[in-house]
Amino acid sequence: MPRSLLPALIAAVMMTMLAGCASGPFPAVQSALDSFNQTLRSLPGVEASSLDRPPVDGAVKIDLIVTLTDDVTEAELADIGDFASTFPTVQLGQGQYPGAVELRLAGSAYSYFDLPTPEALHAQLAYWRQLVAVGFESISTRTYSAPVTAGMLEATDSVAGDPSADRASQHGEFAQEEAPPTNSPGLSAPEATPTASSAPALTSAARGRLVVVELSSDERDDGARTAQLLDAARSLDDPGAATGEWDLMGLAPFTTGQFVQSALPTADQIDFVRETRAVFDESDQLASVHVRVDDSSAGSTQVNVTAFDDTMEGVKSADAAETFRETAEWSELMQLVPELQQANRDFSVNFVGNNLTGLGVFELKFGVRDCGFWSGSQWPDLSRDLEMAWAASLQGANAPTAAAQVCAAQR
């Protein structure tokens, strides 16, 4: 379809939807949705489209899912993106509101529409299409919202027997989940409008971009292949974003690297995550390692580790500290402290292990903030040893006060 005809096509669809409104609310809604979907399916490069209706708090959120053909061109993708971005203007029934718009291509997904101009949208779509062609397992590009949490740099303790409070903070630190709509309608909400939904729309100011790159199981054990793919991705023309994040899943087995920046991570940043993960090679039951890197002037490193050890199985809370010293994970945490200090920025670590008898899970939190060591108060003996390891890494003696001075001088 010629690009010059697309505005007229969109206008015609909008007139059809508006005309249908006069004949009654429900038929008009069905006519509007059907007309929109039929027009979308007729666009070159579209293989299929569907309207998902998951219930949300008594209302119905309508998500638009567009499956693209494998050979969709850059121009076709721009037209599809333009038309899909008008989805919030479709007339919906009472208790319904437009949700997400997601374009899918060869196992990858795109839902980043919070951009100021059509040209900006076209550039991001083209870049996503090129990233998909590089050969990663999948590429997901969507709107980025910085985690709103106190962060693991706050030394808070879990309530005995109820670790859920810290777990919420943990997930806020290391997962970029799609936030619920700010103005999602509730049970008695009025009919939704485009301004009262989370539907995509070109905005006066661009929001940040999150790119999630998943590596295949073969690539996770092949550093050379991963480096080749990342080099190919760096050669592409990235339109960039004011703020954002890159999440690389599978940099090593059970490992995710999260990089708080708009540009693709450098080779040195990738190596840092891999080296951090390598500290835990002796863990027989390693579940996950998440490393979040912020190289900005006020940034920090956050490491979240989940691992289980048979030595800790069924241990009572009174014996947990001494028993944990016998595990491989304790030695690994002691080794991790000086390695994180070498990055010369604040860091925090959250380790989650086995269930304890009568206490919930074993959890150990510690880190360095403004050249001062902090930790939770639940395991003071373990915390003191970790602090001494940190001090020794800076000036070779068990003197936290002197270590803090050395740390400040290095910064």
Q: At what angle do helices 317-324 and 380-395 cross, to 10 degrees?
A: 30
Closest CA to 245 of 205, 208, 200, 206: 208
Q: What is the pLDDT of residue 6?
A: 54
Cα torsion 195, 67, 136, 267 to 10°: value is -20
- Which amino acid does the sequence have at 202? L
Q: What is the pLDDT of residue 195?
A: 35
Q: Which pair of structure tokens corresponds to residue 55?
A: 């219930």
User: What predicted TM-score, i.e. pTM, was given to this entire model?
Assistant: 0.79
E strand spans, 271-335: 285-293, 300-308
Q: For the CA atoms of the chain, what is the radius of gyration? A: 25
CA-based max dimension of the chain:
82
Q: Which pair of structure tokens corresponds to residue 360?
A: 């919930």
Q: What is the pLDDT of residue 152?
A: 41
Length of the chain counted residue by residue: 411
- Concatenating the DSSP letter of every residue in 20-81 gives HGGG-HHHHHHHHHHHHHHHHHHSTTEEEEEEE--EETTEEEEEEEEEEPTT--HHHHHHHH
Q: What is the pLDDT of residue 308?
A: 96
**β-strand partners of 369:** 372
| Region of residue 240 (left: phi > 0; alpha: psi -120 to 50; beta: else) | left
- The rounded distance, in Å, linking the Cα atoms of 207 and 327 is 45
Q: What is the pLDDT of residue 170?
A: 36
Strand pairing category for 138-144 and 360-369: unpaired
- The rounded distance, in Å, linking the Cα atoms of 19 and 32 is 9
Q: What is the pLDDT of residue 13?
A: 45
For the chain (411 residues), the mean pLDDT of every run of 10, in chain order, is 53 43 45 89 97 75 95 98 94 85 97 95 98 96 73 40 36 38 30 39 66 88 87 96 94 94 95 96 96 91 97 93 97 96 94 90 96 92 95 77 85 80
Position of tokens 């309530």? 159
Strand pairing category for 346-356 and 360-369: antiparallel
